[in-house]
Structures are given as C-alpha cells and as structure tokens.
Structure 1
Amino acid sequence: MKRINLTYILQFIFMLLSALLMGFALSYSQIGSLKYTFSTVTETYVGMYLITSLILFLVYLGFYAIFNRFFYSTALFYVFFGIYAIANRLKVMYRTEPVLPSDLIFLKSFKELVSMVSSKIVIIMVIVLGIIIFSSILLEKFLGKNMLHMKWWLRIVLAIIPVITIGSFYSANDEGSVVTNILNKAGRSEFTPNLMWETNSNGPLITFLSNIHVKVMDKPDGYNEAKIDSIVKKYKNVATEINKSRPNNDVNKQTLIFVLSESFADPTRVPNVKLNQDPIPNVRQIMKNNTSGMMLSSGYGGGTANMEYMSFTGLAFNQFSKSLQTLYVQLVQNQKNPENITNQFENKNAIHPYIGNFYNRSSVYNRFGFQTFRNTDSTGSLALHYTDPEDGSQYISDASAYKDVAWQVNQIKQGQFISLVTMQNHMPYYNNYQGNNFKASGSGVGKNAKQVANFAKGLSLTDESTQSFLNELDKINKPITVVFYGDHLPGIYDGNSMRKYNVSEHETEYFIYSNKYAIDHNMGTTKLNGNAAITDPNGFIPLAYQQMKEKVTPFYALLIKIQEDAPAMAKSTVGNSESLYVNRKTGKKIPYKDLTASQKELLNDYKLIQYDLTAGKGYSNKLDFTK
C-alpha cells in the first residue's frame, strides 16, 4: 500500500515538473533565447510563468481525468503543447507574431498549412510524435496498472476545472474581473503598444487565452453623433472641391483590377542582401514610367489578408485593437454590410489560385459582395480556367492567374472590379525552379541563401508575366486600371535585425497602370504627381480614383487627405508603439509626437470614422458618407 501511495506521489511530482518544463518551452518558443527565457521565468516575470505552469498542470489533470490512463494523458499533454510550442516558434520566426485564437481558422486548411513548412521539420515532428505515442502504449500496457485510477466523481471535477479556468479568460481584458485582478497581481505586462513585447513577458499561452475575446477598437475620445456629423460635413465639402476637377462620374464604366502579388518585394533593396542579377527589370521600368513607389506593409512573412482588407476598405490596421490580428476572421465575419470598394461597383469578381477557405476568403468575399470567386475549390462555371504551375513550383503560376483575369475582363462589356491574389511566390522557398541562375549573398540572408535565390527566380517569372499581362490589357478597347502591389516581404532575411531595419523590411513595390484605351479617353493617366512615392494599402483606393480621374465620395475624400497630408502608416511589431509612421517624402520613420497639429487632427478624424464604420454606431452611414 505504501509503495502504491509513493507511486501516486511520484506521478504528481512528474506532472508538476512537466507543467513547469512545458511552461519554459512555451516561453522559449516566443523569446528564442535560452538565456533570456531563463531570466524571464526566474527573475522578471516569475508570476506569469507560474500561472502558465498552473494552467498547464490543470489541463494535464483534465486529460488524465478524461482518459483515466496516466501514460495516455501524458502523451497527449506533450504532443498537444509540443505542437503548440513549435507552431508558435515558427510563426514568431516567419511573421514576428505569436499564435492567436484567430489562427485556429487555418486548421480547416491543415494539409495546405503543413505544405508551407519545411519537410525536414515535418519529418522530425512525425518521428518524435510516433516515438511518444508508441512509448505511451507500451508503458500503459506494462506499468499502467500501478498508476492512479480515479473514481468517476473525481474525474468529472478534474475535467471541469480546466474548462472553467480557460473560460474565465473571456474577461481577461475587462477591468475589475477576477481573472484580470489575478493576472495583474501576478505581474502581467500590459504593454499596449506592442503585442510581441507583451507576449515575451507574459508568455504565449497567457496571450492566447487573453485574446479569446477581442475588442475591435478602443472608443476614441469625443466619439458621438455630433462629432461624426461635423466630420461628414467637412469631407463632403472636401469631396465637392476635389470633384470639380474630376471629369468622370461613373466608376462602372471603368475596370479596376487589384493585383496582390504574393510576397513581391525586391531582394536587392533589402539591406545586406546581394543578387548576381536583377530579378525585376520589367517591373522596374513599369514603375519608372507610371505611378509607383513603396507600399508600407503591416506584415513580414505573412498577413496577406490584412493587407487585402486594407486595400479593399481604406481602413488602417494599426488603428484597430492590438488583439485584432486577423481582420477577415475576427472582424468581417461579424459584420453585416462591411464598407469596401466593391460597394461602388455593380460587377465585382475575385480570383485566387489556391483554396477558397484560406483566411476564410469564401465567406468574407460573400460578405464583401463579390459575385464570383474562382479558386482551386470552385467547380463548374466558377472553376479556374488556367491552373498550370511553373516548373519546380507547387503553386499555380502568376502567368496562369493573369490569364484568368484577362478572361474575366472580357466577360463583361461594361466596367467591373476584379481582385487577384496570387500564390506563385508563397513560402516555402525550397523549390527548385528549372534553370535557376540566381545566387544570393550578404549577411542579410543568414543561412537562407538558397531560399533567397529561389525566391528571386520566382520574382523574375512574375516580372515577365506581369509585363505580358499589361501588354494584353493594352490591346483591349475599354478603360482598365491595375493596382499592383506586394503584400509583404518573405520571412527569409533572418540575418537582418527587424529593430534596425523596421522600415525597409516593411516596404514592398507597387505601381498603378492605366491601359492605352483609358489614357486615350481621359479615364487614366501615366504618372500621378504628389505624395505617391510612399503609400500604404489603405491608400490604394484614393490613388486609383485619382489615376482614373473619378469623382469621389466624402469617405474617399478623407482617404485622399490622408494620402496627401498624413504619414504612411503600418502596424509595428518592434519599438514602443503599435503604429509605424513614415514620412512620405523622406521615407524616414517619424514619431507620432513629431506630427503637426493638422496631421494629428486629420488622423483623429480618420480614427473616429474607422471606429464608427467598424465598432461604433454607424452614424456616418446614415449621412451617406460612403456614397
């Protein structure tokens, strides 16, 4: 009897130590340094580490209660949280973000998600998981009878406790709630400006649980109906002045194409990176002769859908709550009639040469009002017409995607809005293109010289197909304008410090091109004057309307003023602010405190309208602000 009781005690000690070990592993997955992880869990944020370990211990007990088999529950504990730690480490490495509840949407696309991870990592994970599972079966068979087997009532209690504990985090951001008070007493870091810094301190598990319930935006000071009414009146007057010089009053007579080119960003512009040849000579020439510049991205290595959202809506990612990390999943899904550019068009069609439910696009596009969405899941009359990949690539080529866009352009006599989100240059970059003569060097590439070379080859193929696409559009006798942009840099420049190169590693190329017919019929131009050298995704609508010489709504008049007078902006993952502001003329980072009074007033108007359209009462909608 004494020997059995000792076994129970040893079980308890093992479970407790396992929780502490896994708590350390999760913290390391976020910080990436054994030295700083040890310092965090033993000195600076001991309380948060202990709470993380307590939650892990309770979940471990919950698994044990469900199976009533010690070794099975142990295997599940290590497998589940081991995968979580690896996933968090990979996301931090590639995207400088922790895993959040909104990322669970990608489990619907598990096969596609795994295909983006290095095959070496996948193989190692499968082998380790196999060893853990096989060992647990053997141990349970030969030693399981000596372990604790709980009575039914105790199993129910221990299974419920972790559920209640995790559920209590729904109010983790509510002032005065029990869990908030506990976390604060434990020393929770609430560094509002930066989610990464906060997660480094609190640990990824606490951040994950604290974001089960998210706030869209903090209510701006002074938000009320009277204030929104005054803003609406102001920008109705601005729109009236702008429209005096705009000859076109029906955007449905024009075709506007947004091309989000996956990861399109010139490697030769990245600090400490060298290539043996130019990967984008055609695009470079296009940019020289047309409206073009740098786009300030709110992502690095990922976040495509957030850039897409900003380009469609004209709203700024950095002005939302820091816990709102995936706008399609966390915001649009809960909106009935989200404001976006498709509302201005009678015909609107989307093309994405990949699965339709990635980032929940199928549902989001339906809410945005797209009439068709062609993707690799769609069939019949909605199927993609061109699906050939480039040799050596696992994704449909940009050349094929452009052919589908050209097909769509010719299906409708009048104008339309078309969105293309490409996939050719998506991670991973271990593919071997046929005849790849690119070579990469420099400290910025780190250990990824081959990946950078493969990526450069992919860009060169995009460069060629983009030029061919524009040539085809010039043959079509109706006005067409293309907004082309890269969504973010690929997460392969691990030799560079994000803190040191925050701006340059968040800049991608963009251009706006009007076809020959549009220019000849005063429905397009070649190169805009003004602050177009640096923009952001939320600046594409006002720039496109200016390029097409179209009259604007009061809301778009506000966006024009933002583009002309405010700095470019993005969500930042480093530094002491969640927002990165960049001077559109100098390209230099500018602190908010250094902005002029008129710029701050303009940004405040912008924030108030954004809150009203997404989280507020919608006063501006009743005043036809967006029409």
Structure 2
Amino acid sequence: MSENISKTTSKSHWRLWINRAEADEVTPKHPHKPFPGWLYGVLFVVFDIITVLTLEVGVSASADRVQLSNPGGTGFDFITKLWTNGNCVILLNVLLIGLLYLAVLMLCNRFWTASAIIMGAGIFVATIEHFKIEIRYEAILPADLGFLGSNTGNMLTFIPAGAHVAILVALGAFAVVLALVLVLRYFDGRKGRMIRTANVGLNISTRLILILLPVLGFSLYCLQVGVTDSWANKLSSVMGDKPSVWDSVYDAQRNGPLVSFTRQLNPKVMDKPADYSEETMKEVAARYKKAAEKINATRANDLNDSTVVYVLSESFSDPSRVPGLKVNKDSMPNIRKIKESTTSGLMLSSGYGGGTANLEYMGLTGLSMANFDSSLTSPYQQLVPSEHWTPTVNQLWGAPANSLGYHPYESSMYSRATNYKKFGFSHFYTLTGPDIIKYQDKIDESPYVSDKSTYDSALEGIKDGSASKFIQIITMQNHMPYHEWYEHNDYTAQSTTGTPLEEDEKESIETYQKGVELTDQATQEFLDELDQLDKPVTVVFYGDHLPGIYSSASQDENNSLALHLTDYFIWSNKASKSQGTSIENADYSSPNFFVAQAAEHMNAKVSPYLAFLTEMHTKISAMEPPVVNKIQGWDRIPEGQSIYLDAEGNPMSETDFDEETKQLLADYKLIQYDITTGKNYLKTTDFMTLP
C-alpha cells in the first residue's frame, strides 16, 4: 500500500515539474519575449560568417611579405571574388564552419553558449595563425596537431617577440564577442535553449542525431577532399577551391584556412601493394643486398668520401630545343661543352612552369612521383610532415653537420625549412632564416638573387673544414615571371610556325635566354672554383622544368615530351678519381635516379637501395607522372599511364615490359609504400646502409 502511495507521489512530483517547465516557456519570469526561430537562423549564419572572416584575418593580417604566388595580394580577394567572378570558396568555408557550429550547438543545447565557443575558437586559432605566419611564414598544417599531444609546450615556438599586442587585440575581440552574446542572451526570453521538449528521450535522441550528422559530414569531407575525383574533391573544386600548396599562407588566404587545412589532412598517398608484408619486405631487402654485393665487387670508392653537390637550377633548359622556336645564338655554350666531357643527358621533368619541389623531392629521396596516387600533388606539404621515417640522400654523409642547404628565397616555401630539418640538414640558408644566406646580389633589375651569389654562398660551406659533405643548392635567378630585367640583352627569338610570337611571349623568352646565359657563365665559374680544391667534389646539376612561357609551342600536344626535357650533368673536379668519367645509359634520366648515377659515375659502392635504383635505371631510363603542356597546377592527372622512357628517349608502354622490368616496378612500389605510408619494415634492415 505504502509502495503504491510512493509511486503516485513520485509521478505527481514529476508531472508538477513538467507543468512548471511548460509554464516557464509560456509565461517566463523575465520581461523579454523569446527570440523567434528565424532570428536564430539569421544569427547562426552571421556568427558563422564572422568566424570565417576572423580566421581569414589570422592568415592575412601579418602576411605582408610579397610572394611569387601572390604579388601585391592582400588575402581578402578570398571574399570579394564571390561577386567579382562567382567563386564560392568563401561559402564552402561557411558551410564547413557551420557543420562544426551545429555540432557544438546541439552538444550544449544553448545557442548563446555555442556561439561564444565557436567565435572564441575562431579568434584563438586566428591568433595562433598570425603568430606562426609572423615567425615562419607558414599557416597551421595538419602536422602541427602533434603539438596538442606530448609536444604542447612547443606551441610557444609560434609566439614571436611583441606578441602581447596581438594577444591584447585577441582578448579585446573576444570581450566584444562575449559582450554581444550576453546582451543578446539578456534580451532573449528563451535564453537560447534549442531543444525544449519535455520528453527526455526525444530530447537526447534529437540532439544526438544533430550532433552526429554534421560531425559525420565534416569527417567524410576531410577524409575524401584530398582524394582526386572523390565527391568532396569535386565539391571543393566546384565551389572554387584552387589549391596553391607551394605556399601554405597564400593557399589559406586564397581558399580559406579551414579548406586549405582539411585538404591536407588525408591525401591518398598510394595504393597498398597486394603482397605488402614484413616477410615480403625482408625478401626485397635480401634481393637487393645480393645485387649490391655484385655491384660493389667492381667498385673501388666510397660515396661519402667525396663531397657531393646537388644543383637544382631553377627553370634551366635549352631554348634552342623548344619546337617551333628560333633563337639568334646559343645561350649555354659552357654547359653544352661540360656535357660533352662528362656524364650528362636530358632529364624528364614532371613539371612545366612549376613543380620545383616535386623534382627536388625525387632527387633527395630516390622515390618517384609516378608511383604516387594522383591525389598526392606535393609530398613536401602533404606527406613529409607526417612521415615517421624520411631516408634521404644527404643522410649517407652521416651527422647533420655534413648536410647543408642553400636557397636564396623564402625558407617557408613548400615548408622547406621544416622539411630540411627533418631530412637531417644542420643548416638551410635562405633569405628569411633562421640561417641567412650570405651573398644576396641581384643582376640589373632582376628581383631574384643571382646564381653567382648562390654559388659563392655554397662555396664557403664546401670549403669549410676537411669533412666530406652533401650540399643542396636550389637557385632562384631564372624564376618566372620574366620582364626586361637585364641591360645589354641582345637575344632575340622568333616563331618558325608562321604565326609570330606575341610581344609578351617574345619579351619573356628573350629575358629568359639572357638569364640562361648568366647561369651558364656562373656555373662554369663555380666548377672552376671547385677545380682549385684539393678535396674530391662531384656536382649533380639539373634544370627542374622548362619555364611556362612557350605559349605557341605548348598549344601543340605533340610537343609534350619536348617541353618536359631539361639538361643535366654529373661532373667531378680534378681532385676526384672520376673526373672526365662518362657512364653508359645517361642520355635520359629522371631525378630519382641521380644518386645511383652519381655513385656509378664515382665508381662508388652502393647500398641495397642504390643497387635497386641502379637496376631500375638499366630497364627504364626515366619515369614521371603524365605530363601536360600547361603551367604546373596542383591537380594531378588521374587518367593515362605514367611516362616511361627507354635509353634512346622513346616512350615505353607498361604492357610491353618484360618480366624483369615488371618485377622491378613492383618492387619499387613496395619500397616506396613501405617508406612513405607503410610500416617502415625496411628501417630495421640494412637496406639504406652503405658498405
């Protein structure tokens, strides 16, 4: 009896509580009426847009250094281009922030609380972006999420001197936002409560669905946007996203920080080989260990007993080889003569008018862009920051003190400063530091540091001390655009197709020709200086791609291969035993094979990895992804096979490969997968170790 009375009393209390709650909704104790639903909707959109614009301020407010990618840009054309050319990328950012906003809103079930959180988070992230750009000229990248774990203390490295001003501004902005929210909440008789049903089960289930749906949508977008031809990738493209991954700040300015960030979260690197396993990788390591022993039986020298210098010469190529173009004189007589007396040939480039860092990556790693999925457009940005193991050529020279890099431009471009440290370089000398390149002279009206100055800076590092080193040089002198920079320029160019060159194209070509001549002279002087040294030095010199100035020639698809062939040579000084050496199968190559070719040129012993590259190069002289006659964009071509060239420079078809070549290609993909995105089984073997 008493038990029934207790149950009845309990039900009465519950019913009384619900009645009171319903009464509060109808007749609130405060004098203000609840805001209508449509007003919440309007304010949701307004606060969403405020958050997006706050993030854009974070990447634009301190980005006052002029970049190649955005000369004179402010970063805020991200907003104006919505009505100037119909680009809707700002709406894509609003949509993505809106999904996160909705999830937070349903989580706390209070509109004003959620609004303060989302706008406050925007201010916080924008402040961190501002600090990072201020000291590194680099936007927040997915790799920075590691700071949220055990490296949280390293967040302090993002805070520059004088940061108190920005912090005070951020706190002031948050105070304004908070005051606005509190005032609106005061006048809202509903107090921002969203789901108000008295049915607890319905309340929870509704909120849970409205949390999971936006989180799922946002997560699926992040997982797919970095994959070529996925629904998210297509949506992003249709909305106006134009990836500019060579410069993370410009990319964030141009496409919005959130879109730029999410694109790099989960790029598809490459397909997992069906037979990939620890056992398979041990078999691969053993196979090329035997190959290395066979090669080393005929080699007398050690690779790291010599200093090796890689020279990536920006846009260096022979204008006289461009189809349909006639030039009045040779702009590279010295390098042409050098090529005749040493290992040399033509290099197949994956880029045209751009893509420098991809060629650089292949040269330093021995890996090929042809093996990667088309979604991976820039390993320096999308892959290297998250890798746990990054074996590179320079590491064969031991301690980081023996690895030096020189690049007379921004250290942040392609995240080079961060990546070179990860590669094991002790110093990477640039215009912006932290290591400042010593010589910075420019020629006439050119905006770029001359090749001579770059060589002079590197010479000091080469001469310093008796230890052998690996030196990486990336020049800037011949970077586009090309205007009338040089005095006394007597180069001329004309079309042989019957259609005269446009004036802009003609001016660019003639300026570029003069730049090639200056590089030719500076390179000869550099080699002459190296010849005076009493320690062995070998130079691997190559042009990364043709300049994107040949509008007439690029209109003809039959010129694709010719517009992707640059010049390279491998040269040794007088103190080297290999001076004047010219190895076989050198007429055509690609950067991934340079280290193996250098070892052969130097008659140097190889690791199992270099033995593999040596064998691969005997079957395929050059390999790159599909190439096109347009300035390098950041959308790889998903259709068509990669380009493979034989020893005579003729394209090869995969269907015609013999069994040995097929096995080598299969092994290449296994090796590349293991190093980049696999379990790093090769790391525990001596696959990368020189004898």
* TM norm structure 2: 0.64
Residues 606 and 432 of structure 1: CA distance in aligned 2, closer, same or farther (over 3 Å)? same
Aligned twin of 1:499:
557
Offset of residue 580 of structure 1: 2.9
> Is this contact kept in 2: 1:260–1:486, CA < 8 A?
yes
Larger radius of gyration: 2
**Which residue type is aligned with residue 506 of structure 1?**
H
Q: Kindly report which structure 2 residues correspond to 1:26-65, keeping only aligned pairs within 5 A, or say none.
A: 64-65=46-47
Offset of residue 396 of structure 1: 0.7
Residue deviations 1:190-229 (CA, integer Å, cap 9, x gap): xxxxxxxxxxxxxx99x98776521222101211122212
User: For 2:587 and 2:311, how far apart are their aligned partners in 1?
Assistant: 19
Offset of residue 561 of structure 1: 0.6
Q: Does 1:367 align with 2:441?
A: no
Unaligned runs of 5+ in 2: 1-40, 85-109, 120-210, 239-254, 629-636
Q: Kindly report which structure 2 residues correspond to 1:88-167, keeping only aligned pairs within 5 A, or say none.
A: 111-113=65-67, 115=68, 153=111, 166-167=218-219
Q: Which residue, 661, 672, 681 being the options, matches 1:610? A: 672
Residues 166 and 242 of structure 1: CA distance in aligned 2, closer, same or farther (over 3 Å)? same
**Which residue type is aligned with residue 513 of structure 1?**
W
Residue deviations 1:268-299 (CA, integer Å, cap 9, x gap): 11112222221111111111111111111111
Residues 469 and 235 of structure 1: CA distance in aligned 2, closer, same or farther (over 3 Å)? same
Q: Kindly report which structure 2 residues correspond to 1:506-521, keeping only aligned pairs within 5 A, or say none.
A: 506-518=564-576
Indicate the SS of the match to 2:483: coil
Aligned twin of 1:565:
619
Offset of residue 490 of structure 1: 1.1
Aligned twin of 1:467:
524
Offset of residue 166 of structure 1: 5.0
Residues 371 and 498 of structure 1: CA distance in aligned 2, closer, same or farther (over 3 Å)? farther
Q: Does 1:486 align with 2:540?
A: no
Aligned twin of 1:261:
313
User: For 1:504 and 1:131, how far apart are their aligned partners in 2?
Assistant: 39
> Is this contact kept in 2: 1:65–1:156, CA < 8 A?
no
Aligned twin of 2:363:
311
Q: Kindly report which structure 2 residues correspond to 1:309-348, keeping only aligned pairs within 5 A, or say none.
A: 309-346=361-398, 347-348=402-403
Aligned twin of 1:407:
460
Aligned twin of 2:329:
277
> Is this contact kept in 2: 1:479–1:517, CA < 8 A?
yes
User: For 1:428 and 1:609, how far apart are their aligned partners in 2?
Assistant: 38
| Stretch of structure 1 that moved more, 601-610 or 220-229 | 220-229
User: For 2:374 and 2:263, how far apart are their aligned partners in 1?
Assistant: 12
Aligned twin of 1:430:
483
**Which residue type is aligned with residue 559 of structure 2?**
Y
Q: Does 1:477 align with 2:534?
A: yes
> Is this contact kept in 1: 2:623–2:644, CA < 8 A?
yes
User: For 1:184 and 1:309, how far apart are their aligned partners in 2?
Assistant: 27
User: For 1:256 and 1:107, how far apart are their aligned partners in 2?
Assistant: 42
> Is this contact kept in 1: 2:545–2:566, CA < 8 A?
yes
Residues 434 and 573 of structure 1: CA distance in aligned 2, closer, same or farther (over 3 Å)? same
Q: Does 1:398 align with 2:439?
A: no
Identity, in percent, stands at 35
Offset of residue 106 of structure 1: 12
**Which residue type is aligned with residue 427 of structure 2?**
T
| Stretch of structure 1 that moved more, 507-516 or 612-621 | 612-621
Aligned twin of 2:22:
none
Offset of residue 61 of structure 1: 10
Q: Does 1:623 align with 2:685?
A: yes
User: For 2:278 and 2:541, how far apart are their aligned partners in 1?
Assistant: 37
Residues 108 and 182 of structure 1: CA distance in aligned 2, closer, same or farther (over 3 Å)? closer
Q: Does 1:553 align with 2:553?
A: no
Q: Does 1:540 align with 2:615?
A: no
Indicate the SS of the match to 1:310: helix
User: For 2:428 and 2:222, how far apart are their aligned partners in 1?
Assistant: 35
Residue deviations 1:64-94 (CA, integer Å, cap 9, x gap): 45458xxx99xx89xx9xxxxxxxxxxxxxx
> Is this contact kept in 2: 1:117–1:428, CA < 8 A?
no
Q: Does 1:240 align with 2:298?
A: no
Residue deviations 1:495-540 (CA, integer Å, cap 9, x gap): 223632221111110001100110xxx2x24243321110001010
Indicate the SS of the match to 2:642: strand
User: For 1:109 and 1:569, how far apart are their aligned partners in 2?
Assistant: 38
Q: Which residue, 417, 425, 432 being the options, matches 1:377? A: 432
Residue deviations 1:337-357 (CA, integer Å, cap 9, x gap): 301112110311111111211
User: For 1:108 and 1:332, how far apart are their aligned partners in 2?
Assistant: 26
User: For 1:166 and 1:439, how far apart are their aligned partners in 2?
Assistant: 55
Q: How many residues align?
A: 499
Indicate the SS of the match to 1:471: helix
Aligned twin of 2:38:
none
Aligned twin of 1:418:
471
User: For 2:230 and 2:428, how far apart are their aligned partners in 1?
Assistant: 43
Unaligned runs of 5+ in 1: 1-58, 81-103, 134-151, 189-203
**Which residue type is aligned with residue 572 of structure 2?**
S
User: For 1:451 and 1:171, how far apart are their aligned partners in 2?
Assistant: 42
Q: Please report the RMSD computed on the Cα atoms of aligned residues, expressed in angstroms.
A: 4.2
Aligned twin of 2:89:
none
Offset of residue 248 of structure 1: 1.1
Aligned twin of 1:355:
410
Residues 578 and 180 of structure 1: CA distance in aligned 2, closer, same or farther (over 3 Å)? closer
Q: Which residue, 636, 654, 657 being the options, matches 1:595? A: 657
Residues 404 and 276 of structure 1: CA distance in aligned 2, closer, same or farther (over 3 Å)? same
User: For 1:272 and 1:471, how far apart are their aligned partners in 2?
Assistant: 35
Aligned twin of 2:249:
none
User: For 2:62 and 2:683, how far apart are their aligned partners in 1?
Assistant: 35
